[in-house]
Amino acid sequence: MPDLEFRSADARFRVHVPGVTVRRLLHLCRSSGTRETGGILVGGYSAMLDCARVSAASGPPTDSVRGPSWFQRGTRGLQAWLERRWASRGDHYLGEWHFHPYAPPAPSNTDLQQLGRIARTVDYHCPEPILLIIGGDPAGKWLISAHVVPRGQAAIPLQRFQNPAEPDLVTRSYGSD
């Protein structure tokens, strides 16, 4: 699985997701079956602070609730997981991810409102949270979308960046893993 990179149209925002993390997300989606699932994204920023580098994604906390077309992420165990990631790797909270089984990876108004609240909540220390959504069939044809929601602004969709040196990257990352 190749790494994925997303960019805003003005290149102000970038997100890098390693292939190993994409594989983990797809595994969590497959394990969820026909119910939505999700978790949080952690990592760091490039030296120029223009690229969020995802290093890991949590699974759904045990107190999460979900159904075929909705997901409410719980919090049980997340603080301890975040503290371990911070202590061992210096990882920060970067945002959220979730799965739309057999549906497009388009964010709902609820998704975007949640990210807006996160951006405004000082305790998150994340004024520009990221939202990754995986849609479709994680064992077959799937898609992934990325958005950033800067504090006090509307969500900004990020487009997949394809390295010209890897012509089949889009097919490989948007198809089966």
> What positions carry a catalytic annotation?
36
Instruction: Provide the residue ranges of all domains of the chain, joining segments of one domain with +.
Output: 4-174
Look at residue 61 and give its three-state secondary structure: coil
Asked if residue 36 lies in contact with residue 101, where contact means CB atoms within 8 angstroms, the answer is yes
pLDDT in tens, 1-21: 889 999 999 989 999 999 999
pTM of the predicted model, to two decimals? 0.89
61 residue type, one letter: P
How confident is the model at residue 164, as a pLDDT?
Answer: 54
Run of H or E including 81: helix 78-89
Read off the DSSP letter of residue 123: G
Question: Does pLDDT of 94 surpass 90?
Answer: yes
Token pair of 60 as six digits: 């759904």
The CATH code for residues 4-174 is: 3.40.140.10
Is the pLDDT reported for residue 163 higher than 50?
yes
pLDDT of 50 reads 84
Q: Position 112: which residue type?
A: L
